[in-house]
Structure 1
C-alpha cells in the first residue's frame, strides 16, 4: 500500500512514449543501448539508431555530382557544391528530425563572376511529388547585398520545421540576377520523426504541417443543474 506500480510500455509511437513515460529504454537487436529520461531517449533514437536505418547517416550531400540535378541545369562546372544539414544547436543531422525541431542548411556554391544579386532556395516535397513549401532567401526582409565571387556559403536557419511525420525530398536551387542558374531538385531525403508536438499524445492524421494554436470559449457558462 502507498507504493506506485511500474508499468512497462513498449511502442514505436514516439508521441505516445513522450506523453506517457518519464523514463525510457532503447533496445536494438535484443540489447539495451540506452537508458535515461524520455526526452534523452527520443533524442538518441532520432539522431542515431533511427537514422542509421533510414538514411545514409551523413549530414553532408555532394551537390556537384547530384543525380537529382535537372537536365536543363547541367553547367560545365556545377555551381552548387555541397549541402550540410544541422540541428539542435549546431549538431550535424545524422538521422531523422523530430517534428518542430530546428534545422540549419548550409549551401556551398561557387560564383564564377562578381555579383550582388544572389539567392538560394530549399524546396520540400512529399514522396508523391507534391510541393509542400519553399524556404527562399528572397523572402528575407532587409537582407544586405554586397558583391561576391568565388566559394560561398549561404545558411538557411529554420527555427521550427512544421512537417508531419514522413519522408520528404529536399531540392536546392541557386539564383543569380533573378535567374535560376543551378538546380538539384532531388538533393537528399529528410525523415521527420513522430514526437509529442502538441503535448497531448495526439497528432493529425491528415494534412502536411503541424501548427501551434490555442482554443478557448468566448464566454464560459456551465450547464446549470
Structure 2
C-alpha cells in the first residue's frame, strides 16, 4: 500500500483586487480584531469566483476555493487548466511560498519547487555561486551540493558559463541551471510550474526523462503544471483539472485531458447545418454531417472499436462551373492531427444534392475520443470553408473473450498488417 505524500484539505486563497492603498489597513485591523475575539474572518463570506474574463462587483476574489485532494507517494500528477484557473497559486500554497486563507496542507517529506525561472537566483552572482545559494534555499547541505555539483552542471549544459554572472544568461540557460539544482535535490516531492516551456526541445525532453526517472526509479512524487498535453500524458499517471479556482476533475490522466479539452458529455456525432448562414451561400449548401452505422442509420454517440461506421455528408452544390471536394481532418483531443480523409479525385461532387459516404473500417481507430474538422476545397487548391471541430465522437472497447488482452494498445491507429513465418 502506497504512503500518502501530500494532502490538501479545504484549501482556499482569497486576494484583494486593485492597488494596495486606501482601505487596506482598516481591513487588516478589522481582521485582527475579529481574530482577537475568536470570531471568523469577516471577509471570508464575501468575494467572487476568480473569472478573469468578467468584471465583478466585489474587490475580493477567490483564487482557490475548497480544494481537496490526496496524492500518494510515487505519483506523477499533472495539473492542467486555462490561464487564470489557479494552478500556479495552488503550487505556491503547496510549496509554502504563500499561506492559504483557509484550510490545511499535510506533506510527508521535503519539497523542492521550481515555480519561476531562476527562483532564488541572484543576478550578480555566478552560476557556480547560485548553485550553492539555490541548493541551500531548497534545503541541501553544502556537502550535498559539492558532491552533486559536477552532475548538476553537466545536466544543465551551461558548463562554459558556470563562472559567469547569471544576469548575462538567457532565460533558457537560467531555467536549465535552476531545474538541474531542483531535480538533484533528494526531496520526496518535486513541484514544477511550466518553466520548462522556456527551454529548447532537447532540454524539455531531457527534463521529462529526468522527472520520469525520479518517479519510477526513486519513488518520488511530482506535481507538474504544463500546457504541453503530450508531456502531461507521457509523464503523469494522475491528472487534476482546474477551472476558476476549483478542481473540476481529479483522476486518470486520459480522462483529465478529455475534460480539459471540452465537456465530454457534449459529444455529438451528427450536426444539421443547412439553416446556418456560414454553411449556406450561392456556391453550396452544407445540409448535415453525421456518423452512422454500416446500414447508414443514425447511431448512439459511441462506436465500438470492432464496429464499422460511416461518415455521411449531405451537401448541395449550386456552382456548375467549379469543382468542389471535401477534406475531413481527424484529430485526438490533444489536437494532434492523425489523418485526413478526402473524396478528392475518387468521387466527384455533382451539381445539385449529394449524399457522400466515407467508409471507416472496423479495428482501425483505437479506443479514445476524437474530433473532426472540415475543409471545403474549390478547384483542388482553394479553401472556401474551414470549420474546426465540427464533430466529436468516441471509440469504446469491444467485449473481450477469455485469453485476450484486456487493456488498450498504445497509439491511436490500430495496425492490421499481414504477418508470415518464413
Q: TM > 0.5 between the two?
A: yes
Look up the match of 1:195.
398
Secondary structure at 1:92 match in 2? coil
8 Å contact kept, 2:367–2:396: yes
8 Å contact kept, 2:310–2:357: yes
8 Å contact kept, 1:58–1:93: no
For 2:400 and 2:413, locate their aligned partners in 1 and report how far apart those are by CA, in whole Å: 11
Look up the match of 2:300.
94
Look up the match of 1:156.
358
Look up the match of 1:207.
411
Distance 1:214 1:190, change over 3 A: same
Q: CA deviation at 1:58?
A: 6.0
Gaps of 5+ in 2: 1-263
Aligned pairs for 1:1-225 (under 5 A) are 59-64=269-274, 74=278, 77=281, 79-115=285-321, 117-138=323-344, 140=346, 143=347, 145=348, 148-160=350-362, 162-178=364-380, 179-195=382-398, 200-213=404-417, 215=419, 217-218=421-422
Give the structure-1-normalised TM-score: 0.56
Distance 1:158 1:121, change over 3 A: same
For 1:195 and 1:75, locate their aligned partners in 2 and report how far apart those are by CA, in whole Å: 36
Gaps of 5+ in 1: 1-53, 67-73, 219-225
Q: CA deviation at 1:155?
A: 1.7
For 1:181 and 1:108, locate their aligned partners in 2 and report how far apart those are by CA, in whole Å: 17
Q: CA deviation at 1:130?
A: 0.3
Q: CA deviation at 1:208?
A: 1.4
For 2:388 and 2:295, locate their aligned partners in 1 and report how far apart those are by CA, in whole Å: 27
Look up the match of 2:248.
none
8 Å contact kept, 2:327–2:340: yes
Q: CA deviation at 1:211?
A: 1.5
Higher strand share: 1
8 Å contact kept, 1:55–1:95: no
Q: CA deviation at 1:124?
A: 0.8
8 Å contact kept, 2:313–2:357: yes
Distance 1:208 1:79, change over 3 A: same
Q: Which has the higher contact order (CA 8 A, sep 6+)?
A: 1
8 Å contact kept, 1:57–1:94: no
Distance 1:161 1:177, change over 3 A: farther
Q: CA deviation at 1:65?
A: 7.0
For 2:404 and 2:351, locate their aligned partners in 1 and report how far apart those are by CA, in whole Å: 50
